[in-house]
Structure 1
Amino acid sequence: MSNSIDKISKFKGKSVENNNIYIPKYLHKFVKYKLKRWVDSAFQARIMTEDDHFVLNIPKTDGQNNQKQKTIVVLDKDTGVEQYSARWSHGLAQFLELKYRRKLSVECLKAVFIANKAFFQRYKSCLYDLTGTLGSENSQSFISDLYYVKFADLSTSKKKCYNQLSNKVAFEYSDWLDLIAKESIKIGKKRPVLIVCENVGATDNIWNELIRNGVPPLTIEKYRSDGDNIEERFRKTPATTDPEVNKQGGLHVILNYPPENVRVEEQVFGRTARNGAVGTGQFILQVDKFVYEHMYELDQYPTDQRKLKVEELADIILERENINRDNKEAARLSELKQTSTLRLEVEELFEKFNEFKRKKAKNSISTVAR
């Protein structure tokens, strides 16, 4: 894909230079600087889908309450929160608007800003925070190096009574849906089950699978967006308040996608076993068939035996998935650290330049006054 991006960028650049695409002269340098990023955004927009990376919804920002036109709203995949004030940069938002035939917006170009890192570093040694999920060691190390902070673990007021059940994996999407439905129905006979999905599309598919397996729709509470007040409604359900639920083993949480980091995983399973109550959780994942069939030579087994073998290997496969995830996170944080350092250096240089200007202006005023 990178070769295609380079070729298209060069072709479009030549078109601008030859006036085949008219761009005012004073914008040529800007276009040349942004062109490769714009082309990359066009490729990204091709693979991004509704109800996964974003949703089409009526914006809730001030002054737009009466607007009936649905727009592209960024979706936080880790929390399911619709980020109405967030905008994708480098033309990505505009390409998605073209793809889904939305009203074309203007790309936001910020002339002056301060990065989060520079902002928080101004607090120096006066930065304190409390969180229930610190994340992985790599994540903690990254934050420590970035903001010069230390970490301390505080014990909970009540003993954690959480139990991780055996995990399950599937190669095919249909088998994955079937596993989730059957496990939910089996456990749901005695206690409530919370199924945490990666996106809205998966939520709808699992809903349909549960109904197809005979679960009455009225017994399923479906949350598709933050407009459903998920957190508020969930905290008030019997799943977290009824003592009888606790006697039966508490709320069971099924996480059906691999989260990007440990922090998100801990947040999801932290929905159960709260305030001394008991609870359980498990992964039910769809994994790469090609990778694991070859790794464990599963293609030599008949279909029924293969499924049993996959069930036996589920925890091992999950461990491999977690290792791969942690390695990717470490690489991402390393790259982010380098990028953040470079940005901070630019901001520091800009700050020094402004300080120099202020001193020069002050000296000039003093000279004139004399």
Structure 2
Amino acid sequence: MLIDDSSKIARLATSMAGMDQLHIIYHVLWNRIVYLQDKIIEINDKMYLLYGKVGFEEGKMILEYADEKGNIIKISDLRTYLASTSDISHMGQSIPENEELDVFIKKILDIYVRELIKTSIKIPKKFVDFVDTQIPKWIDNAIVALNYQEKVHYVVQEDLIKPVDYYSTGIVQSSTNWSDGLHQFLQIKHNLKMTSETFTTNFLSNRGYFTRYGSNLFGLTGTLGSEKTKQVLVDAYKVDLVMIPNLRRKQYISLPDMVAMNGTEWLEEVCRSAMNESSKERGILIICETIERSILIAEKLKGEYRPSGIKLYTMNNMNQEKNVEAVYPGEIIIATNLAG
């Protein structure tokens, strides 16, 4: 919290009456971005956004789309057609080569949503400025939500989206809601009941919080880091650092790194190594980057080892700590950074 998460901000937020009237915008944005990801295709080394159904027939790429009158038009050789036609506005558009794909998508979404709000969606007057400001943020977070993975960036428990701090601590943040529509888009993604976006009334960064203690800041850590990290602590929080020598000499041995060629080989090697150490009646701890990988390894080991000897520690909010309070010879614990 003092270094890696020093820029994070704790917010107190409150709901506002009428925010549920904006739910339709989240749904419209989400449906559109899901639609677009299936319509963007690379043909002849160029990217296109095509309004229709792309398929294959007799070894050739075809496109079926509806014209202005609703008639279905079929292009039987799409590659040849695009190579010989410069104007494709009736069936889509080409993406400029000098424009990033995500920039193009955001621009398309922005135009689409604003036009829809202008013609079809009625926004309460008190929210007009808010919506205008939020649209770019909503678009960004709709894309983020599309790329976020369950059991990596978040978990779904009791029909609630719960963020996971998998980059550092592995903690499931049960009381945290993502802002600027990200939480809402994930709720749509998993067909959950949608909550309304809230307004921040009070906020304070982690650094701002700790500096309020002045000279009364004390702490212990076994993972302080490099000299630069230590200097950051000294400069930012005006603290002194004291190195306490170890009571006992470490018996830690660093073995050579191993590189697997693919995910299957990696999984096999991790499990083989764990089984090898368990045969020596040793306790084994496997720390994974994500919950998803922890579960993957646990399932693999349960098929090759006694299930009672496999313990999973990936959730700080499900009383899993009891499983790892005592470790017996030959037991294998698979965990995230919670155990780090």
TM-score by length of 2: 0.62
Deviations 1:204-251 (A, max 9, x none): 221232244x32222222334224544454242236xxxxx9xxxxx9
| Selected match of 1:73 from 156, 162, 178 | 162
Of 91, 104, 109 in structure 1, the residue corresponding to residue 181 of structure 2 is 91
How far the C-alpha of 1:97 sits from its partner, in A, is: 0.3
Q: Which sits farther off after the overlay, 106-115 or 95-104?
A: 106-115
Aligned twin of 2:215:
125
Which residue of 2 is the match for residue 218 of structure 1? 308
Deviation at 1:93, TM superposition (A): 0.5
SS at match of 1:74: strand
Counterpart of 1:271 in structure 2 is none
The residue that corresponds to 2:61 in the other structure is none
- Give CA deviations for 1:145-188 in whole Å, capped at 9, x if unaligned: 33233433221222222111222121311011011111111121
Partner of 1:196: 287
Aligned-residue identity in percent: 29
Correspondence 1:27 to 2:127: yes
Deviation at 1:139, TM superposition (A): 3.6
Change (3 A) 1:126 1:221: closer
In 2, the alpha carbon distance for the partners of 1:206 and 1:253 equals 10
Verify the 8 A CA contact 1:6 1:36 in the aligned structure 2.
no
Q: Indicate the residue corresponding to 2:139 in structure 1.
A: 39
Match of residue 146, structure 1, among 214, 236, 258: 236
Q: Structure 2 CA distance, aligned partners of 1:136 and 1:24?
A: 53
TM-score (normalizing by structure 1): 0.57
The CA distance in 1 between the partners of 2:203 and 2:173, in whole Å, is: 20
Confirm or deny that 1:171 pairs with 2:239. no
2 CA distance for matches of 1:36 and 1:161? 53
Q: Which residue pairs with 1:48 in the alignment?
A: 148
Conserved? CA contact 2:141–2:182, under 8 Å = yes
Asked if 1 retains the 8 angstrom alpha-carbon contact of 2:141 and 2:181, the reply is yes
Aligned counterpart for 2:224 among listed residues 124, 134, 139? 134
List per-residue Cα deviations over 1:44-80 (Å, max 9, x = no partner): 111112211111113xxxxxxxxxxx21112232443
SS in 1 for 2:162: strand
Residue identity opposite 2:210 in structure 1 = F
1:33 to partner: Cα distance: 1.8
- Structure-2 change in CA distance of 1:47 and 1:9 (3 Å): same
Runs of 4 or more above 6 Å deviation: 251-255
Query: Structure 1 residue 9 and structure 2 residue 98: aligned?
Result: no
> 111-120 or 47-56, which moves further after superposition?
111-120
The alpha-carbon distance between structure 1 residues 162 and 253, as it changes in their structure 2 partners (threshold 3 A), is: farther
In the other structure, the counterpart of 1:359 is none
- AA at the equivalent of 2:198: C
Is 2:138–2:180's contact at 8 Å kept on the other side of the alignment? yes
SS in 2 for 1:183: helix
Q: Offset at 1:10?
A: 4.2
**Structure 1 residue 24 displacement after superposition:** 2.2
Residue deviations 1:330-362, cap 9 Å, x none? xxxxxxxxxxxxxxxxxxxxxxxxxxxxxxxxx
Report the AA paired with residue 110 of structure 1. Answer: T
* 1:104 aligned partner: 194
Matched to 1:71, the amino acid is L
Counterpart check, 1:57 vs 2:157: yes
Give 1:35 deviation, angstroms: 1.4
* Structure 1: tracts of 5 or more residues without a match: 59-69, 240-244, 246-250, 258-263, 269-370
What does residue 207 of structure 1 align with? Answer: 298
Cα gap change, 1:89 to 1:48, in 2 (>3 Å): same
The structural deviation recorded for 1:39 is: 0.7
Residues 171 and 315, structure 2, Cα contact 8 Å, conserved in 1: yes
Letter aligned with residue 149 of structure 1? V
Structure with greater strand share of residues: 2
Query: Contact 2:313–2:323 at 8 Å: present in 1 too?
Result: no
Higher helix share: 1
